[in-house]
Chain A
Amino acid sequence: MSHPANATAFLKDQSRAKWHDETLWIVRQKRDQTIHAIPEWEKLRDLASQIKEHTLSKLDFYLEELEKNASANGIKVHWAENAEEHNEIVGRILEEKNCKAIVKSKSILTEECHLNPYLESKGIEVVDTDLGERIIQFLKQPPSHIVMPAIHLKKRDISDIFHEKLHTEKGNEDPVYLTHAARLHLRSKFLEAKVAITGVNFAVAETGEFVVCTNEGNADMGVHLADTHIACMGIEKLIPRRKDLGVFLRLLARSATGQSITNYNSHFRSPAPGKELHLILVNNGRTKQLAREKFRNSLKCIRCGACMNTCPIYRRSGGFSYGSTVPGPIGSILSPGIDLKKYSTLPFASTLCGSCSDVCPVKINIHEQLYEWRQEITKAHGTSAKGLSMQLANGIFKSPLAYKLSGKMMRAALKNLPESIIYNPLNVWGKSRNLPETPAESFKDWYKKNRK
């Protein structure tokens, strides 16, 4: 996995890359408009950050409280140490119900656990019911964004996919027409499914309930029609009290899409008579991240995706360039915790501009953690050519004479060498940029003549 190589490939299609950048920038602008209508926005961010800080500091306590209260409400609570255990629990419940087709509402956790291929290998039909998710499911692609999973596709692409899969009119790109076709298609799936799977946006320890936020109402449609509801959550999705919820609901939709609130914020507290409600609490590396002091607050993330929309790198390289379930800035600090080697280029896929940290509704210091991961990665890689050049650089910069000589040599070289040597394939800077014109003397030389 190499982000630079993937990004270079993405940028080859200039018009699509430009469109991708502009589309996400529109979302960022919508977000700006709504947050500027909230005078206490920064206070809300502080509050949310502190609530999460507190929760993470007592995560064991609140998880047990959640389990106790949810169980008392009639919810069957399961614990999964990793993705495999999570998938097995889901598989076992479906087996008990003799269920061969399920509907699922968008859940990045089930993506992270690769639930779909697991269930499909057992002969179970999985239908993602979020419109964007369904589109990429037709293409056998993962989401390219955690909130807008099909944001990398244009209307024309969707028209072509629907023509092939749902037999819509060829070339008809009308969103109303296409959405209607999707609705009819999904309706039949909703009616067939005996089990519905959803993610969880917030679980409330105090009341033993959880909240699912969608814009399409698809989670509710699936859950209400099915006999069994399985909700899957990462253990960090916890908040202590129901009264904390308002803080996060105000931040989530505004940060994600610029809406003042998500269309459907559905609370699930206990199963309806004759039905079953399961809640799976998944660790999958989260307690490991919790133990890493410098990176623990990445677990505050409420998955709004705002850092992706604002990130100038994400906008110009697309979600797939990151090769991880959660892409973009937040993914670049979560993924190295899962596999440092595989994701070693991600913390470098940033200019450390800091926009992600300032846009983050729970104030995760994302760009500072990117910097910290860089230090960890170079340590883990041991002595490399780059490491040696850095030691050499330190040798130059700690010695004024060495600095002066190398500076002089560099300026002389740039001045006197023919352009064909300066602008060669090994000079990556010069591929699309000119080098600065070289002055006759350094400032140091000037200062000695004019001020000393």
Chain B
Amino acid sequence: MSSPAMIDRYRWWEIVLIYCGIALFLFFVLSPFVEGFLVSLKPLAQLFSSPYRFWPENGSFEAYRTMWISVPGFGRYIFNSFFISTVVTVIVLCLVIPAAYAFARFEFKGMGILLGAFLTVNMFSGAVLLIPLFRLMRSMGVLNTYLAMIVPGVAFLIPSAIWLLRTYMIRIPQELNEAAYMDGASHFYTLRRVILPIAMPGIIVVAITTFIGAYAQQFIFALTFNSKTEYMPLPVGLFAYFGKQEVIWNELMAASFVGIAPAMVVIFFLQRYLVGGLTAGAVKQ
């Protein structure tokens, strides 16, 4: 009689309430995107006319064509963003996979402290260290190059990546290591041939979150360490649509959607890993 499934059965008005709640929540989350998309469809004159109209009249994808013309370097900005984020992600993975494995498998004095130290680093944003980083980049002679955005970008993404991947690797049974050692495999061989393939879903999650993080970081590092348009990443490059008189809003929004579309497609296909991995990492701490 008291089957567990019955608990989850809602009365009709409860279902209505839940859908209203979800609608309210999603309205908050999605309204900037909806509005942004509608703006990208409106002619500029319509944007600057009163009274305010929500739906576009004679909406068209014209802005998606003209955005390439008003800011000729736009394609370059997208490329720069993807290039910087990809390089950052690859370097972070190379540094973090071994470190996370060490934290997950070996235990001796000082490791807990080191892990805590990484977490502490995670809490300092690049904004706090901009002045010395600027001096460091200048003395390394990498200001106004891709490296000016890649080098600091990597450092601030290492800690959270280590924590996330370590949580994942801890759950891989220790017996696998022992079995491999029994068969005479070296530490390194075990890591490469036994652990890495099993940890792949976790590595994918770390790769995605690092990529997203790298994309988000580009604003402040590019703003401070780079003044050359040819190396400008998308977030800063979008300021090109801020004209002397007014912002070309419809093209700015069109450019935003063009800029994020590839990332959205990738994440859409990988979201199964993403939600699972994030929540597992979150709850297990």
Say if A and B assemble together.
no
